[in-house]
Amino acid sequence: MRENKIKKIAVIGPECTGKSTLCSQLAVHYNTQWCPEFARGYLQKQGMKYSYENLLTIAKGQVAMEEEFIQRISDPQLAANNSKLLFIDTDMYVMKVWSEFVFGKCHQWILEQIIERKYDLYLLCNTDLPWVKDELREYPDLTTREKLFRIYKDILINQNTPWAMIGGDADSRLNNAINAVDTLLNK
């Protein structure tokens, strides 16, 4: 008998690669919910002058928010439908890369969460979208964004969860993501 557990799909990649848009589109397509990136709301309130310690706060906020969304989908009284899919904008790999890229080190708690938290699929967003200025974005240059993309790709290659690269125009990105999710669901 097939287990009826929630399938968690994490959408990761450098900033300004369409992660939030893709999560939103996938949630609509599959009639489910998506967990936004905690850092965005946190930095909008706190400002862009963040510290190494702030990244631990952000990571804990991301995990707590993800758990809230898992509860919503798991609880038949809270769930808007009986979908067992959750799209997650950002995970602890993103926190690790951010922490190490900016500060050259990563909190042990984040590393432990990478080991403990399990996902069913990763969608890695490529840097082939045009840069869009945003008060929270730090790396407008394509060279830095591509360097970060290669770091994410190396991480995904060296772990066991299935993953798919998402690139191209908006329609291609969504279609590629849907194909990857459908492949997961049909296993």
Window from 69-78, 112-121, 176-185 with minimum mean pLDDT: 69-78
Mean pLDDT, to the nearest integer, of 77-92? 80
Domain definitions of the chain by residue range:
7-185
pTM for the full predicted model: 0.92
Question: Does 80 score more than 60 pLDDT?
Answer: no
How far apart (Å, rounded) are the C-alpha atoms in residues 63 and 119? 13
Selection from 50, 59, 143, 52 nearest residue 94 by Cα: 59
Q: Mean pLDDT of all residues in the chain?
A: 91
What pLDDT is recorded for position 151?
A: 97
State residue 130's pLDDT score.
80
pLDDT of residue 132: 74
- What does DSSP say about strands 163-166 and 121-125: parallel, antiparallel, or unpaired? parallel
- pLDDT bin (cut points 50, 70, 90) of residue 74 is confident
Determine the pLDDT at residue 3. Answer: 45
Residue with structure tokens 């945003």? 134
The pLDDT assigned to 1 comes to: 29
Q: What is the pLDDT of residue 163?
A: 98
Which pLDDT tens digit goes with each residue over 7-31?
Answer: 999 999 998 899 999 999 999 999 9
Asked if CATH classification 3.10.310.10 holds for the domain at 7-185, the reply, yes or no, is: no
Contacts of 145 (CB under 8 A, 6+ apart): 14, 15, 16, 17, 127, 131, 139
Q: What is the pLDDT of residues 32-56, one digit of tens each?
A: 999 999 999 999 998 889 999 999 9
**Rounded mean pLDDT of 159-172?**
95
